[in-house]
Amino acid sequence: MKIRKPALVINMKNFPHIYSDKSIELANEIIEIRKNSPIEIILCPPSPMLSSISKLNLPVFAQHVDDQKEGSSTGAIIPELLNQLNIQGSLINHSEKRIPFDEINRSVERLKNLSMTSLVCSRTPDEVATISKFKPDMIAIEPPELIGSGRAVSKVNPSIITDSINAAKNVDSNVDLLCGAGIVTAEDVEIALELGSKGILIASGVIKAENWTEKINELCEPFNKWY
């Protein structure tokens, strides 16, 4: 499944809201929304749920990938195994799962060799500039202090978005910059798009919502003005 652009990437993390069959319920709701959506909606389930959700008709990313070898690498989540499960890509270097730059570089390259999509998370524009050298498909700017806060980075610190976009463009114009951290409302999304973001990375703003379909549709609405 080819990844469309722009993208709304939903990180399920390990919230209890999606335990058991709830994860499949969310996936099926997203499948219905995607039928009439102008954007891509990508789901990032916890590792134990990847296999079952990968069988459904929607793009799925892993929450993390390990730069370990095939074979004797017990406990590792390796790109080759994800590829066999029909997982389309992976988050890399999320603020809750940080890895060194050299490992980011190798992970991006391994995903690329498997025709998988890389979405690398970054905390600052300087990190964006460094990560852009590795030529990932997407970079998400997420100041860690705003993650899960309900205080949208697009409102609290809009300059970090524009600075990150410029930092990426100065290195590789093909890298798409996504915005994350504290995004909750359609207004948060609209401001991010106005600033130049090509998509949104979100977690609790969707997963903790009382009605998943209503919240995702609300977040998708601002994209209609731009795409």
Q: Report the amino acid identity of residue 136.
A: P
DSSP letter assigned to residue 60: B
Domains along the sequence of the chain with CATH: 7-63+118-225 (3.20.20.70)
Structure tokens, 174:
């093909």
User: Model's pTM, two decimal places?
Assistant: 0.94
Nearest to 62 by CA among 71, 74, 76: 76
142, 63, 111, 119: CA torsion to nearest 10: -20
Of 11-15, 35-39, 78-82, 219-223, the least confident: 35-39
The Cα 78–Cα 101 span in angstroms is 17
Of 59-63, 88-92, 179-183, the least confident: 179-183
Give me the percent of the chain exceeding a pLDDT of 70. Answer: 96
The Cα 41–Cα 77 span in angstroms is 23
Q: What positions carry a catalytic annotation?
A: 94, 142
Tens digits of residue pLDDT in 110-124: 999 999 999 999 999
The residue written with tokens 């025709």 in the block is 115
Q: pLDDT confidence of 181, banded at 50, 70, 90? A: confident
